[in-house]
Amino acid sequence: MPEASLVENISDFNKAQIFRHLIFYNIISPLQFVLDYEKMERLLSSKLTYFYKRVFPAVWIITFGAFTLFLWIYNYEGVSSFKWFILVCLLGGSIFLRWFSEKLKVVSLQGEQLVVSDYRSEETIPLRQIEEVTETRIWNPKLIKLRLNRPGRWGEEIVFIAPIRFQFIFLNHPLVKELRYMIQTTQRGS
């Protein structure tokens, strides 16, 4: 339908409003609205994923590396043991940030499937293939982990950053509740 192609680059909320107007003025049928709405892609992961995956690790490693290099080049008195400690922190922090950033994925919902991407490639995972949805409690930003029945392109676990919300530490993120409900509904239906 030409109406659906006009609204591909608009937010989900605005798309729903546009489709309501199209239905109200009898331009499209309610059935067509439901079919088109199911095809829309909804971003589940945080918009800050790119920052945490690419920008933050690079800035941290470069900044901490420059500080470490500065300590090693200029030989100040009394910092010989400190510069070894800083070097170990640089190496450990760099390894951790590399590992952490590689695990982060961008996750979108499209109908009854998740579209998972690492900015280089993407994979489509049916909701019924998800075994468990968990989240971190104290980690900030909150991470949501999806455990799969069968390993996919990135293994048995998909990790993404939940959209930022201010809430108590021990409360479930609303997205976790929504995903659990959708998965239960999908598994009951199949």
HEC string of 15-50 equals HHHHHHHHHHCCCCCHHHHHHHHHHCEEECCCCCHH
Q: Quote the percentage of the chain above a pLDDT of 70.
A: 78
| For residues 148-162, average pLDDT | 92
Residue 33 lies in a domain: yes
Please tell me the total number of residues recorded for the chain in this structure.
190
So what's the pLDDT on residue 11? 53
Residue 71: strand, helix, or coil: helix
Can you read off the two tokens belonging to residue 140? 């900030």
Query: Are 60 and 76 found together in one domain?
Result: yes
Nearest to 42 by CA among 105, 114, 104, 103: 114
Tens of pLDDT along 22-73? 555 556 555 555 545 556 788 999 999 999 999 999 999 999 999 999 988 8
Residue 152 lies in a domain: yes
So what's the pLDDT on residue 109? 92
| Domain span including residue 32 | 2-39
Query: Are 111 and 90 found together in one domain?
Result: no
Mean pLDDT over all residues of the chain?
82
Measured between alpha carbons, how far is 71 from 64 in angstroms, rounded to an integer?
11
